[in-house]
A and B are shown apart, each in its own frame.
Chain A
């Protein structure tokens, strides 16, 4: 399957060599668009990419064939490096790790791209992070967690993941009494550790924790900036700190969640093609069938268009150095 998609990529590059960018109204008729995903099949990034790949042909002018190519490696840096150097003809687009922007901010050496130079299609979905604790614990509010006599044990995967970074900032900046234990292979394994009371809670995406909230195992205490209606009344992490710099650091961590599933075209893609993708993504994220599928798969669909996304990216990269310096102490990209 993958070999075939690789082959299709080669063929599409050969066939489509004459750039279609010059035309005013691009048409993808008879072309093959390759959607490069920075992860292996099976994860969230792959899953939503495969759903989008099925709707793109319907909404792109000329109804092209769209194939998904998985290019895992280095938290999708490999794939992003690849798409950054691809021909900007609209036939190659990428779906990468949302944290790449923070990776660039803290200057990960392997990154050979500039996130602000990609032609942004935008992000079709947000990711809301919450901290949830076991429902049998006496704590209910953030204040309870600050004054908790014994440290709450929070299970985490590792740095660079919301399971780790979110509680870390709560502990360091909002003075939550937490003990973070990292090293769990996946958020599912942390959930199991909660069941057997090895840990008291965990942070993670709302969509992945929701079934366990519904079941009464855990309750949500704090959320990050991006939100969905069901948990809008929860206090945000930023509301729990008064210092402006602390707020800014928390905001930096949360930015990628607003752009939860970034879709990018190579730098220099002609504006007409970028606009065609904006229109297609706008229509896809309003398609009822698409919405139903995405909801069942647990995605929070909310399209942030490329121009808006690019502004957010620019503001992150322009963060004041003192904020970046504090942020760097907490964040590592891996």
Chain B
């Protein structure tokens, strides 16, 4: 194993593989920064270029590109409140709030460092999973996937505002999210629901325009209303800000590790989708608050709210590679495209990837780690300059942000419907911020609704009621109950229930 690992490292460090990786990283860097242009789409566009490459070169290129997208996506989320990627929206809640307090540098440092930790943990998870990958993935059938979705939905309790009223609002926002998830064909028979007679909604709501509108529009309006820079009148942190963020990662090291593991684990399980990990990790971060007062800091710029999703959205890639490599079943949409890359270079994913082609698999582990180290090192060099953008007057930034928001939504489907969805969710998002309703539960409902519905149906159709007694189902049910109870206890722990304050709402 050690030999194979070293040999794979040598292969990745060969000049040709390394230069392809650098090209990939350069591409991924920009793809991550630009909202709307997603990692998956870009992978598909780059696929034709790998025909003539060797496997190690091809994966250095594709994976190098993909591995850094989530890392740089966080940068846009933090600086402007616009999700750079669909998978980096959760970073906005506290990351952008920190920018508004003049701590953009610190938030960027924290997100980059946690991304790096996440990437490494994800790669290690991939490595560690190699011998046990079959039971690990096969233990999760449809009933377990359904319960995982329920566990995720239970985190709404954690993401809701405090107090009875806050809980109620969180719950209702979650329901609204579940409702939005129902738009489009029902997963079982394909009947169209709530499409308003349009073709655009035939395939359901696209997450990217929803997230871009939901998070970016309220912030742009807020910026316009305040008439100041993003960081307001706050002094934009001294040059040490970035370093402070890096230190934060190690101050809350166990939280970062735990969120990395959450991300890797969600990545391993095909069918949950890349958008879920960040929100669960964010919810878990808020659980680390010890007092109600501390809990209220989340959404107002608590660095832990940056560390959690930052770590998880990177570690999930290593995790998602596991089923892709071992079963030929992609763990995420980006991985589905990467799978096409496997076939193009003449590799058949499957058990052989863990024996005969182990070197290729291990070269992927190295690519993820190296690509992230290079990106983080390169980014650290000019983060302080980036952070200064938050001191630029809002009136100068706003036109630029608006263009970014519109383009980011539109490039997704090239359909005017994207713009309508973006603006609609922008209005909804603004109303929710204005009236102090938490937004995170809605997103959680939206990303999990379809999964829950789909797998509940399959579980019942396949097993009747018998699936309810499966051990992992019971375990997950207990965990979900634990999440809700702990949120209620956290509520009680305060001297007196604080009147509903929207937290986690950003």
Interface residues of chain A, those whose CB is within 8 Å of chain B, are: 1-3, 6, 40-42, 46-47, 50-51, 54, 69-75, 77-78, 81, 110, 153, 158-160, 181-186, 188-189, 191-193, 195-196, 198-199, 211-212, 214-215, 293, 296-298, 332, 334
Q: Is the CB of A159 within 8 A of B189?
A: yes
Q: Which of B185, B333, B413, B462 contacts A198 (CB 8 A)?
A: B462
Q: Which residues of B contact A77 (CB under 8 A)?
A: 199, 202
User: Which of the listed residues B137, B199, B350, B351 has the most CB atoms from chain A within 10 Å of its own CB?
Assistant: B199
Task: Return 19 A-B CB contacts under 8 Å, by A number.
Answer: A1-B37, A2-B41, A40-B41, A41-B41, A71-B415, A73-B202, A74-B199, A110-B202, A181-B462, A182-B188, A182-B189, A183-B455, A185-B271, A188-B328, A196-B138, A196-B140, A198-B141, A198-B142, A199-B462
Q: Is the CB of A188 within 8 A of B44?
A: no
Q: Is the CB of B329 within 8 A of A188?
A: yes
> Any chain A CB within 8 A of the CB of B411?
yes
Q: Is the CB of B203 within 8 A of A297?
A: no
Q: Is the CB of A334 within 8 A of B142?
A: no
Q: Is the CB of B340 within 8 A of A1?
A: no
Q: Is the CB of B343 within 8 A of A297?
A: yes
Cα of A74 to Cα of B199 in the assembled complex, Å: 6
Q: Is the CB of B199 within 8 A of A186?
A: no
Q: Which residues of B contact A153 (CB under 8 A)?
A: 462
* Chain B count of residues within 8 A CB distance of the other chain: 59
Q: Which residues of A contact B43 (CB under 8 A)?
A: 42
Q: Which residue of A lies closest to B37 (CB)?
A: A1
CB distance from A83 to the nearest CB of B (A): 14
Cα of A296 to Cα of B455 in the assembled complex, Å: 33
User: Which of the listed residues B192, B411, B462 has the most CB atoms from chain A within 10 Å of its own CB?
Assistant: B462
* Secondary structure call for the B interface: helix
Q: Is the CB of A297 within 8 A of B413?
A: no
Q: Which residues of A contact B339 (CB under 8 A)?
A: 188
> Any chain A CB within 8 A of the CB of B458?
yes
Q: Is the CB of A73 within 8 A of B346?
A: no
Cα of A211 to Cα of B351 in the assembled complex, Å: 11
> Any chain A CB within 8 A of the CB of B47?
yes
In residues 367-413 of chain B, which contact A (Cβ within 8 Å)?
Answer: 407, 410-411, 413
Cα of A2 to Cα of B329 in the assembled complex, Å: 28
Q: Which residues of B contact A189 (CB under 8 A)?
A: 270-271, 329
Cα of A212 to Cα of B348 in the assembled complex, Å: 10
Q: Which residues of B contact A182 (CB under 8 A)?
A: 188-189
Q: Which of B137, B351, B458 contacts A192 (CB 8 A)?
A: B137
Q: Which residues of B contact A54 (CB under 8 A)?
A: 48
> Any chain A CB within 8 A of the CB of B464?
no
Cα of A81 to Cα of B415 in the assembled complex, Å: 14
Q: Is the CB of A158 within 8 A of B414?
A: no
Q: Is the CB of B351 within 8 A of A215?
A: yes
Q: Which residue of A lies closest to B350 (CB)?
A: A215
Q: Is the CB of A195 within 8 A of B327?
A: yes
User: Which of the listed residues A73, A183, A185, A334 has the most CB atoms from chain B within 10 Å of its own CB?
Assistant: A183
